[in-house]
Amino acid sequence: MKIDVGLPYDGSTLGRRIAAVTLLRLVFLSLLMGIIGRWYLREVEWRAFSVQVALIALACAFGLSGVYAAWLRTGRKLQALTYAQVVFDQATWTALVYVSGGANSGATSLYGLSTLVAAILGGLPAATASGIIGYSFYATLCATMVSGVLSAPPDQGDVAYALTLRQVVYPLGLNGLMLLVVTLLSAYLAERLRIAGGRVVEATERAARAERLAQLGRLAAGLAHEIRNPLGSISASIELLRDGSTLSDEDRKLCDIIRNESTRLNDLVTDMVDLARPKRPEISPTDAAEAAREVVALAARSGRSAQDVAVRLEAPDAQGPVFVEADSRQLRQLIWNLVRNAVQATAPGTEVTVRVEPGPHRVLVEVLDRGPGIAPEAREHLFDAFFTTRSHGAGIGLAVVKRIVDDHGWAIDVSGPGDGETGCTRFRVTIPVGE
């Protein structure tokens, strides 16, 4: 089921972000190469060491951006691609820091730029990784220059490089603090953007869902009258015909099929009307155990449950009524839809269990079936209107259940094989009761 209301860093979202960042990176690198090239070519010799290092680093970064773009088309391992970009970007900036002043270079601000980009792509984890990687490269550069492993560029004799431990302590601390602030701030802003984007998506989905329900309401209003009256006549006629003594066993089976299909069609029309034109719950003390008994008794005389699937009730008869604050009609409808869904999913010759479990602060209403379970990819959309995994289903019954649960302020969860359940799928509705 869908829990996070924010915009997740899923494949499609991350892919779009990487594509946008890659395009901006190509533009930025092109401008940077042009500026550096023009400045150096006017001020210093083309073959100067610093010129070559800077332009080679930028050219490599430019080429890698093309590789990123090509890899992005595959849609695979986008998280790994994000961190690869972070590593190579920070390495590129380290090369520019080296040829432009080392520990005292103003190019250290580019570490913060990459951290901001990482935060946009992957939130706090990516921003933290970028900050750590950037500072590690910077600290390693300072350490190698202080130790003498790496000397200052030979053409930068007029630039004051920090070559002693005392000289690098201050820039190391200052740039470390700068990267820490940038990391936290960029991660915070990226998270707020993610949440705001999620709210926009959620509001858009609600508006689209409301529009679909409005269309469904107009359709259901017309169908309810036009279909129910003929269905009533068909059902009554079939019952009279079935009770006749002249019918063969084969004819009685055909009558049962017609009756069951008429019942299913009537249930579908009812669900469409209830989903499209919801009514505000009329709350009153309702006996949940008695509501479950009535549903089980009705289920025992209808559809598959009257033939090859048993519906069994587990309720505390000895403890008396189990009162909850609910709309009695909607509570019965909720249990009925869950039972009907369970009967359709369970295997012939098995049973569906309806359980009412009272507690000091809540009442649990559970429906268990012995079906094949629910695929993980289907759980997220299980309560969406018109979503179904069955070829003959309309995907309305569970949507009605979710609407009733939400209107009452209750909670519903689903578990099955793989969640600690043994050979069954469990729908559990939690109904709070007074202290």
For residue range 41-92, list pLDDT tens digits in order: 555 554 567 767 777 777 777 777 777 666 666 667 777 777 787 888 888 8
181-207 mean pLDDT: 77
pTM of the model: 0.47
2-17 mean pLDDT: 47
Residue 363 has pLDDT above 90, yes or no: yes
The predicted structure's pLDDT at residue 230: 74
Q: Per-residue confidence at 6, pLDDT binned at 50, 70, 90?
A: very low
DSSP state of 421: B
The average confidence (pLDDT) of the chain is 77
The rounded distance, in Å, linking the Cα atoms of 35 and 28 is: 11
Residue 354 has pLDDT above 90, yes or no: yes
For residue 33, the surrounding DSSP H or E stretch is helix 11-43
| 219 alpha-carbon distance from chain centroid | 31
The predicted structure's pLDDT at residue 15: 64
CB within 8 A of 404, min separation 6: which ones? 281, 327, 330, 331, 333, 334
**pLDDT tens digit sequence for 306-325:** 457 888 888 766 567 889 99
Residue 31 identity (one-letter amino acid): L
Q: Which of 105-109, 373-377, 392-396 has the lowest mean pLDDT?
A: 392-396
DSSP state of 103: G
Helix extents (H) in 318-423: 328-345, 376-379, 397-408
The predicted structure's pLDDT at residue 338: 92
Residue 134 has pLDDT above 80, yes or no: yes
Q: Per-residue confidence at 12, pLDDT binned at 50, 70, 90?
A: low
Residue 39 identity (one-letter amino acid): W
For residue 357, the surrounding DSSP H or E stretch is strand 351-358
Q: Per-residue confidence at 329, pLDDT binned at 50, 70, 90?
A: confident
The order of strands in the sheet holding 362-369 is 310-314, 351-358, 362-369, 425-432, 411-415
Q: Per-residue confidence at 430, pLDDT binned at 50, 70, 90?
A: very high
Query: Nearest 10 degrees: CA dihedral of 30, 33, 39, 41?
Result: -120
Residue 13 has pLDDT above 70, yes or no: no
Residue with the two structure tokens 């009279």: 240
Burial of 159-187, coded b for 16+ CB within 10 Å and e otherwise, reads eebbbeeebbeebbeebeebbeebbbebb
Q: Per-residue confidence at 5, pLDDT binned at 50, 70, 90?
A: very low
Q: Which residue has the higher pLDDT, 366 or 419?
A: 366
The predicted structure's pLDDT at residue 8: 38
343-351 mean pLDDT: 81
